[in-house]
């Protein structure tokens, strides 16, 4: 594991698929077809993880197109959804090397989880925060579509620029299922993707583009759309990208 994430405060999250895959007994129980599907999923996961490990292993954190010194729109929505409750449990999904965690800690939030598919990304953030602050954070290295989340554990689910990489419908379904499981009833879901005029590729990968209706449509009626907004993001390379933010609440 790059960066030596054997540190005691780092919780390595085994996905449901990992657990099943490593269970030899399971293989005989699930039969050849299910096993083929699991193998296919595992290869896909390893490809994706490899891609992101390479990105964070070769580029400076502020030299990627999605970098912003501060995620202002995300912070404003998190502040709004938590209404001043600094004990709210917040998960930043695909947090990467972003500074959102620093800003949340600085504002006094003390129940924060950062999840990312890449160890290298988590390593960058962990090193930037330093030992003491890092120890106050839950770290999960996992694929958001496959991770086995504890039920109803988060008040706020935040994702900037992850969901739009899910180009396969079954990945989006698995992601939404995980949100509905992991977020507390009545909890808050903040998802930001490229907007209708955003790029069609990011980090060399094809991406989906959404307007508020189509993004909300991916999540379905259990999620009540509270607000949507668009943001023009200035990349470190002097280009502009349109992002869409959707803020929903999960039904009680």
Ligand X SMILES: C[S@@+](CC[C@H](N)C(=O)[O-])C[C@H]1O[C@@H](n2cnc3c(N)ncnc32)[C@H](O)[C@@H]1O
Q: Decide: 103 and 133 in contact? Cβ < 8 Å.
A: no
Size of the site for ligand X (CB under 6 A): 20
Position 212 contacts ligand X (CB under 6 A)? no
Q: Residue 195's Cα: distance from chain center in Å?
A: 18
Least separation in angstroms between CB 148 and ligand X: 13
Contact pick of 112, 143, 178, 212 for ligand X (by CB under 6 A): 143
Position 116 contacts ligand X (CB under 6 A)? yes
Least separation in angstroms between CB 6 and ligand X: 20
What's the rounded Cα separation, in Å, for the pair 237 and 3?
28
Which of 29-37, 75-83, 101-109, 155-163 is the region at the interface with ligand X (rule: CB under 6 A)? Answer: 155-163
Q: Decide: 233 and 243 in contact? Cβ < 8 Å.
A: yes
Least separation in angstroms between CB 162 and ligand X: 4
What's the rounded Cα separation, in Å, for the pair 49 and 13?
14
Output the six-digit token pair for 214: 């189509």
Q: What is the DSSP string of 83-148?
A: TT-TT--EEEET-TT-THHHHHHHTT---EEEEES-HHHHHHHHHHH-HHHHTTEEEEES-TTTB-
Contact pick of 73, 101, 144, 246 for ligand X (by CB under 6 A): 144
- Taking residues 32 to 51 in sequence order and writing x for each that binds ligand X by CB under 6 A, - otherwise, the string is ----------------x---
What's the rounded Cα separation, in Å, for the pair 83 and 77?
10
- Taking residues 60 to 99 in sequence order and writing x for each that binds ligand X by CB under 6 A, - otherwise, the string is ------x---------------------------xxx-x-
Binding site for ligand X (CB under 6 A): 48, 52, 66, 94-96, 98, 115-118, 121, 143-145, 160-162, 165, 202
């Amino acid at each position: 594991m790059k960066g030596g994430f054997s540190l005691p405060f780092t919780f390595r999250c085994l996905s449901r698929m990992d657990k099943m895959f490593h269970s030899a007994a399971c293989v005989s129980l699930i039969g050849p077809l299910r096993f083929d599907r699991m193998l296919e999923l595992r290869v896909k996961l390893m490809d994706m993880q490899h891609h992101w490990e390479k990105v964070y292993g070769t580029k400076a954190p502020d030299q990627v197109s999605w970098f912003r010194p501060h995620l202002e729109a995300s912070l404003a929505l998190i502040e709004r959804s938590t209404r001043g409750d600094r004990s709210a449990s917040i998960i930043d999904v695909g947090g990467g090397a972003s500074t959102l965690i620093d800003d949340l800690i600085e504002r006094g939030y003390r129940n924060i989880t950062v999840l990312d598919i890449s160890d290298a990304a988590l390593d960058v953030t962990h090193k930037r925060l330093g030992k003491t602050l890092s120890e106050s954070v839950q770290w999960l290295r996992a694929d958001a579509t496959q991770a086995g989340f504890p039920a109803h554990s988060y008040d706020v689910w935040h994702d900037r620029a992850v969901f739009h990489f899910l180009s396969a419908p079954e990945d989006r379904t698995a992601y939404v299922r995980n949100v509905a499981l992991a977020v507390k009833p009545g909890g808050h879901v903040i998802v930001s993707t490229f907007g209708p005029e955003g790029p069609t590729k990011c980090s060399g990968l094809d991406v989906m583009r959404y307007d508020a209706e189509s993004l909300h449509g991916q999540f379905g009626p259990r999620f009540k759309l509270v607000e949507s907004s668009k943001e023009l993001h200035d990349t470190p390379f002097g280009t502009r990208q349109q992002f869409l933010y959707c803020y929903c609440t999960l039904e009680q």
